[in-house]
């Protein structure tokens, strides 16, 4: 089984329940189903998966490549069909800029006011002196420009790039910002 299919199966099996049973039902059980999102460079999903108020499952499949961004998808459990929602580089406004890609999302989706809020993160790493570090850009590419806080409107499908955490890794920065119902602190 390919990595992209396996990653999708493992994540979605925990979210989609058989026969409409709930976790409170004593006879409830999980049944794994294969949902191939069609993303050949998929690696993992980390925490970027959640059920929204529209009854659909939203998730981001990560990429380890310097030139391929993570991809956001939505699965409709009623039909069993998934569809592509967004390329994280396009959503962050950096598609075609030859910078290290927005390779993943490491956060749970937060829903508020009809929108899903989430953040992007680097997915491309290098091993330097035996330690994993932010990816060293290959020739023709600039370093990773920083993560983005994004919102996805459930009604319109519009993605807004709300903020960028540029240059320094989160462990070095200390900031607090607020975007309506969402506040963030990196320290």
Digit-coded pLDDT (tens) for 18-36: 344 445 556 688 888 888 8
Average pLDDT, the chain: 81
Number of domains making up the chain: 1
pLDDT of residue 187: 36
Q: How confident is the model at residue 16 (pLDDT cuts 50, 70, 90)?
A: very low
Residue that wins the pLDDT comparison between 82 and 43:
82
Does the residue 150 lie in any domain?
Answer: yes
> Could you tell me the pTM of the whole model?
0.77
Structural domain including 140 reads: 3-181
Ramachandran class of 3: left when φ > 0, alpha when ψ lies in -120 to 50, beta otherwise: alpha
Does the residue 133 lie in any domain?
Answer: yes
**CA 76 – CA 13 distance, rounded (Å):** 13
Contact by Cβ (8 Å): 112, 50: no
Does the residue 51 lie in any domain?
Answer: yes
List the beta bridge partners of residue 25: none
Q: Please state, as a whole number, how many other Cβ atoms lie within 10 Å of the Cβ of residue 40.
A: 10
- Token reading at 134: 């932010």
Does the residue 136 lie in any domain?
Answer: yes
Give the tens place of pLDDT for each residue, 77-90.
999 999 999 999 99
**CA 135 – CA 104 distance, rounded (Å):** 14
Does the residue 186 lie in any domain?
Answer: no
Contact by Cβ (8 Å): 182, 117: yes
**CA 84 – CA 102 distance, rounded (Å):** 16
**CA 156 – CA 143 distance, rounded (Å):** 33
């Amino acid at each position: 089984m390919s990595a992209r299919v396996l990653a999708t199966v493992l994540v979605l099996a925990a979210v989609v329940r058989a026969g409409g049973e709930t976790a409170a039902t004593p006879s409830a059980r999980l049944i794994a189903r294969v949902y191939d999102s069609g993303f050949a460079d998929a690696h993992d999903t980390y925490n970027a998966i959640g059920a929204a108020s529209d009854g659909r499952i939203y998730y981001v499949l990560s990429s380890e490549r310097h030139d391929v961004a993570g991809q956001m998808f939505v699965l409709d459990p009623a039909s069993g069909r998934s569809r592509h929602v967004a390329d994280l580089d396009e959503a962050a406004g950096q598609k075609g800029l030859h910078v290290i890609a927005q390779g993943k999302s490491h956060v749970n989706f937060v829903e508020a006011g009809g929108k899903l809020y989430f953040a992007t993160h680097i997915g491309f790493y290098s091993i330097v002196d035996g330690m994993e570090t932010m990816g060293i850009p290959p020739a023709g590419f600039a370093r990773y420009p920083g993560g983005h806080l994004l919102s996805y409107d459930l009604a319109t499908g519009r993605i807004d790039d709300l903020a960028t955490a540029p240059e320094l890794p989160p462990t070095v920065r200390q900031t607090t910002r607020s975007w309506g119902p969402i506040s963030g602190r990196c320290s």
